[in-house]
Amino acid sequence: MKLKPIEEQTIVITGATSGIGLATAQLAAKKGAKLVLAARSEADLQKVAQELGGEVATVAADVANADEVRRIAETALARFGSIDTWVNNAGVGIVGMIEQGSVEDYRKLFDTNFWGVVNGSLEALKHLKPKGGALINLGSEVSDLGVALQGVYAASKHAIKGFTDALRAELEHEGAPVSVTLIKPAGINTPFMQNARNYLDREPKLPDPVYAPEEVAYAIVYAAAHTERDVYVGGGSKLFSSLNKVAPNAVDWVNAHVMPSQEVRPDQAPSNPEGGLHQPGVGGRVHGDHPGYVFQKSYYTRASLHPVASGALLALIGGAVALWLSKK
């Protein structure tokens, strides 16, 4: 399986007007890719396209609607003639105790987060299977574990992981030349919490550790040109996933006794309880306003994507240290 260099690709990105989607669009545009950007807000799409310049097409679409997702592909083909990478990034959040919420809200979240990935994947495969390409789905660290106060969101990310893993196996069974990657970010400093439907009586926030959205964009753009199965963005994501496999009771204890207080700002009332669940949220912004420290890079992620270079660097450092010690 051989993927094109980024500068030769046409890349579809859903949820492209804020956060991870916008950061990915910025990086891909900088590297010379042709872009097809989709989101619910036409105004935000036009603003982003103007700021990016270059070869950019936009489609106002709700990924929960298969017909609207089809229009994304049609726009890509009409404007650029092909699709090389499809990034299913669009997503919404809900914060609060599961019993506080409504089934209507929960169905809407699944319509966007899960069915949006299904719609995007099925449409993308029509165009990727004949000639090859990359399908990239956005999971989360909560694809591998549940988190108190974000239970339904975590459930949707579990569903995305199950769907993506099964789809990858079926494509491999067929011998289809499609690279399928699941990206699993840790907490990322985007407007996600500001756009989440909030049932709490306080402003929500991400639990630490939190990373910059540009690091997720780096992983996505890398996966567009290199075959990767899973990419954990942030050492925290890999750590929690691994701990949940080997010490689930300990993770349950952290979930029950630590996480709830980590996910609220105790001195701040809710600023936007409705969020962007049923209507477009805050667009045009890559970054959120996380009050704590934000890691600008994840050395774990970079090392996992470049194991040979990382191993060589560690060997070089180890050799230098050994030489220095031998002269002491």
Catalytic machinery residues:
153
Nearest to 38 by CA among 57, 24, 54, 53: 57
What is the C-alpha to C-alpha distance for residues 69 and 49, in angstroms, rounded to an integer?
A: 19
Structure-token pair, residue 141: 């660290």
- Contacts of residue 14, defined as CB under 8 A and 6 or more positions apart, other chains included, come to 21, 38, 39, 61, 63, 72, 87, 88, 89, 90, 116, 120
Buried b (16+ CB within 10 A) or exposed e, 291-305: eeebbeebebbeebb
What is the C-alpha to C-alpha distance for residues 113 and 93, in angstroms, rounded to an integer?
A: 9
- DSSP secondary-structure letter at 127? H
What is the C-alpha to C-alpha distance for residues 93 and 99, in angstroms, rounded to an integer?
A: 16
Taking CA atoms, 128 is separated from 10, 11, 58, in Å, by 11, 12, 20
Token pair 């990419």: residue: 231
Structure-token pair, residue 229: 């199965």
- Consecutive H or E run containing 34: strand 34-39
The Cβ of residue 283 has, within 10 Å, a number of other Cβ atoms equal to 23
Work out the burial of residue 165: count CB atoms within 10 Å of its CB; fewer than 13 is exposed, 13-18 middle, 19 or more buried: middle
Helices assigned H by DSSP within the chain = 19-30, 42-52, 66-80, 103-128, 151-174, 192-195, 213-225, 235-246, 248-257, 259-262, 299-305, 307-326
Taking CA atoms, 290 is separated from 188, 207, 262, in Å, by 9, 9, 12
